[in-house]
Amino acid sequence: MVVFSPWEVNRLLPIIRQSRVVMLHMYAPRPNLTFRSIEDLTLYTTPSPPKGWAAPRMLILQLNLRTYSEYTLLCDFLGLSYQPNSSKEVNIGADGFVGRTHKNPNCIFTKSPVPFLRVLVTQICRDCQDIGKTDLGRILAGELLTSEHFAGRERLAQ
């Protein structure tokens, strides 16, 4: 997956249309919960995807979190803690990084990805705008989200 700005897509669209291996999918985050989600990446696709095509779940997770279980999957992938460390068995970094543990064997990071992701998202993707109130902004700030945070979204995820 590569994310492009609308300007970049306009420049690359002739090349994308000629390709036999590249598909262009439109994505925009839902501005509020009353709007229809387009996170399934099927609203505008060039060329048309094969019948029955569905975006891989891990791809959608990188774009949008809808449920607490998706949040925990993302944290496991990034090696971030999503629960308070009451047992002190695991060393948790200031940014929440724990790395690969028996609870999250799918983590591929040996160093925290948080500093890189914070720069990527705030300075490059969001043009230095504040992301502190977004799910990802809160995660990158080391905040632990709870299932209550996702209440109301679970039904919209269906």
Tell me which H or E stretch contains 45.
strand 45-46
Give me the pLDDT at residue 20, please.
85
Q: What is the DSSP letter of 144?
A: P
Give the rounded percent of residues in the chain with a pLDDT score beyond 70.
82
Measured distance CA(100)–CA(111) in Å, rounded: 10
Asked if pLDDT for residue 153 goes beyond 70, the answer is no
pLDDT in tens, 140-150: 888 999 988 88
What are the tokens at 96?
């929440």
pLDDT in tens, 69-98: 889 988 998 999 998 877 666 788 889 899
Measured distance CA(104)–CA(40) in Å, rounded: 26
Measured distance CA(79)–CA(146) in Å, rounded: 17
Q: What is the per-residue DSSP string for 64-117?
A: ---SHHHHHHHHHHHTB--S--SS--S---TT-B--S-SS-TT---SS-SHHHH
By the 10 Å C-beta count (0-12 exposed, 13-18 middle, 19+ buried), 93 is classed as: middle
More confident residue, 36 or 16: 16
Q: Worst-scoring range by mean pLDDT, 12-26, 108-122, 129-143?
A: 129-143
pLDDT band at 112 (very low <50, low <70, confident <90, very high): very high
pTM tops 0.95, yes or no: no
How remote is the C-alpha of 52 from its chain's centroid? 23
Q: What value does the mean pLDDT of the chain take?
A: 80
